[in-house]
Structure formats: structure tokens, C-alpha cells
Structure 1
Amino acid sequence: MDRRLAVDMMRQEMLEAADNLDFERAARLRDEIDKMKKELEKVF
């Protein structure tokens, strides 16, 4: 799977978790997204 697509999917999942008041899960997803974005920046 393309990493950018994975980031987009994780972002959607993060927003859904926040909507469901699962803030701990949303925060974990946010941190994973930030990590993946930093890795993508290194590539490009």
C-alpha cells in the first residue's frame, strides 16, 4: 500500500476515534501519522 494512502486512511481513523471520544487511540494514531510523515519527507 502506498504510504500516503496509508497516512490518509490513518488520519480518517484518527478522526473517527476522536468523534467516538476515544482520545487515547486518536493520540496514538496522530503520533504514528507524524512518524510516517517524517519518514516520507526523508524520501522526498
Structure 2
Amino acid sequence: MSSPNRFAEIAASASFIHDRAARLASKGGPISASMIIDYIPEAIRKVLL
């Protein structure tokens, strides 16, 4: 797991999930960082399905 490529893959995955959670949280309006946290599980579910 210590390869630079593996870290890049993990970072890209985290960024993608964060983006999806932010889009779910926003519902077209402004959001705060704390609002995104609640949507991370849903974002992961949608990615896996």
C-alpha cells in the first residue's frame, strides 16, 4: 500500500466520493462542509451500485 500510485488512487477515490456527497448535500443550493458528512454513506452506496 505504500506505492505512490496506490496513494494517488486512494486520493482520487476520496475526491470523487467527496464530490458526489457535496452534490447530494447541495440539492442545488449553498452548503457547508459539515453538511457533506451526512451524505458520504449515500454517495458511497451510489458509487458501489
Please give the TM-score of this superposition, normalised by the length of structure 2. 0.46
Structure 2 unpaired stretches of 5+: 26-49
Which of the numbers 15, 20, 34 marks the counterpart of 1:34? 15
Structure 1 unpaired stretches of 5+: 1-16
1:1-44 equivalent positions in 2, closer than 5 A: 17=1, 20=2, 22-44=3-25
Q: How far did residue 35 of structure 1 move?
A: 0.3
Percent same amino acid among aligned pairs? 8
Larger Rg: 2
More helix by share: 1
Name the count of aligned residue pairs: 25
The structure 1 segments of at least 4 consecutive aligned residues displaced by more than 6 Å after TM superposition are none
- Higher RCO, 1 or 2 (CA under 8 Å, sep at least 6)? 1
